[in-house]
Amino acid sequence: MVPSVAHTSANAASSNPEASLASLKRRGRIKAIYILALVSSISLLCYYDRFVVAIVAQSIKADLHVSDGEIGLLSGLGFAVVYSVMAVPIARFSDSGRRVKTLSISLAFWSLMTALCGAATSFPMLLLARLGVGLGEAGGNPTMHALVSETFEKRWRGTAISIVVVVGGLGFMAASSVGGWIVDHWGWRAAFFAGAVPGPLLALLLWGTVREPKVANPVADERGILTSSKILLKRRAFKMLCVGLSICTIGSFAMMSWTPAYLMRHFNITASQVGSGYGLTMGVSTVAAMLVGGILADTLAKRDPRWSLWLPAASYVVALPFTVAFLLQSNLANALLLVAPMTFAAGLATPPAYALVQSLSGSKLRATGAALFLLFTNLIGMGVGPSLTGIVSDMFTHFLGADALRGAMALVASAYLIGACVMISGARTLIADIESADKN
């Protein structure tokens, strides 16, 4: 009788266990790289669809005859409230062992809503579509981070998540550069349509090629949302990270949402000029910051875990003077030169913060922890920052005139210092909180 291939392979594997182990490790690495590449592509699309509204703001303002306050609502509360509130229950569903399903469905849904943004013929219709984008993306980042965290071991987690965030930064750059070019050639509606097309294709690819990761003792079977949230918020370092970074992101989301419109108004340039100048500089600086931030966080945390909080706090303190200097420039070239250090400094905060959330959440609450973190940062930062800036700009118009938006952006950016102080205060219990998360 001729032995079967499976039997022969089994004998070969048993006779050479080292080769078998090396083969399994190699296949595991290939699988991890594939998942990282796919999730990173989804992250790019996620950030494009979220932030394309910044580059089309001036066109929407002119076409639909809306105020700065209403524009701020589109990029702020109109997106952030639904996104932040729904992220926690969706993450709980994801933590029950349905991460691939959650991300696939969420991606397909927010892509549909992005297309509806382009089809909107009035401000109420556009606002409703943006609410839909927020609902879909609520299942995005928390699940992406959890999926990557389950794929990579702890020592590589910060770097892997930083890659996802870096590619997300490329999505922001694409929203400014590619989106700006599309606006000038085909109009603001086409910029939304361009962001909607790849979503269903990526959703099908994820659903069909990636298996659900095994989650030991899925939390959804044991704990409710409130119980899980209370467990996380009892960890002081987690709470201070959420509150402190949320305050900082009031300023950073205000800058991200309003800088394209500010440059168009202050220097009288077009959307494509903003994209090729600011968009490219900001994108490269963001990518550099994400790469350096992830590696630097992993390196410093090995010496002292408290650097996971100190680094985000320090990055915003350094970013503030560059932000003020940027807003004071009367020369476009000088302003664009300051975009690089301003963006790089603030961007260093993101990878260590995301990685620390995963460490402070523990294996059972990864997606829930990420969603709760995003509930704080997006509801407060994304919700308040752009909306407050728009409202203050409308108020300042009466006595600052053309400089109203600049004054509003400078005022809101001062939140960096307050948030940094809050984060630093959480370092005292950080090590004990991480140990607690590992046990539960």
Domain ranges of the chain: 35-211+224-439
**Identity (one letter) of the amino acid at 385?**
G
CA-CA distance, 178 to 194, in Å (whole number)? Answer: 9
| Radius of gyration of the chain from its Cα atoms, rounded to whole angstroms | 22
For the chain, helix, strand, coil in percent to 5 are 90, 0, 10
| Per-residue pLDDT of the chain in tens (440 residues, 90 and over written 9) | 444 434 444 454 445 555 554 554 566 677 888 888 899 999 999 989 988 888 888 888 888 888 877 887 887 777 878 887 787 788 777 777 788 889 999 999 999 999 999 999 899 999 999 999 989 998 887 788 788 877 776 666 667 877 887 788 788 788 888 888 898 889 899 999 999 999 999 999 999 888 877 655 554 445 566 777 787 888 888 889 999 999 999 999 899 888 988 998 889 888 888 877 887 888 788 888 877 887 787 788 778 878 888 999 999 999 999 999 999 998 998 999 999 999 999 988 888 888 888 778 776 777 678 778 878 887 888 888 888 998 898 899 888 888 889 999 999 999 999 999 999 988 888 878 777 777 66
415: its two tokens: 């939140």
CA-CA distance, 300 to 303, in Å (whole number)? Answer: 5
Classify 120 as helix, strand or coil.
coil
Q: Cα separations (Å) of 20 from 4, 230, 375?
A: 18, 44, 44
**Structural fold of domain 35-211+224-439:** Growth Hormone; Chain: A; (1.20.1250)
**Residue of 220, 51, 241 whose CA lies nearest to 134:** 51
Contact 177, 279 (CB under 8 A): yes
Q: Cα separations (Å) of 253 from 245, 248, 383, 388?
A: 11, 9, 9, 11
For position 22, what pLDDT does the model report?
52
Whether pTM exceeds 0.75: no
**Identity (one letter) of the amino acid at 184?**
D
4: its two tokens: 């079967």
CB count in 10 Å sphere of residue 4: 9
For position 97, what pLDDT does the model report?
72
CA-CA distance, 29 to 19, in Å (whole number)? Answer: 15
For position 354, what pLDDT does the model report?
81
**Residue of 221, 226, 211 whose CA lies nearest to 96:** 221
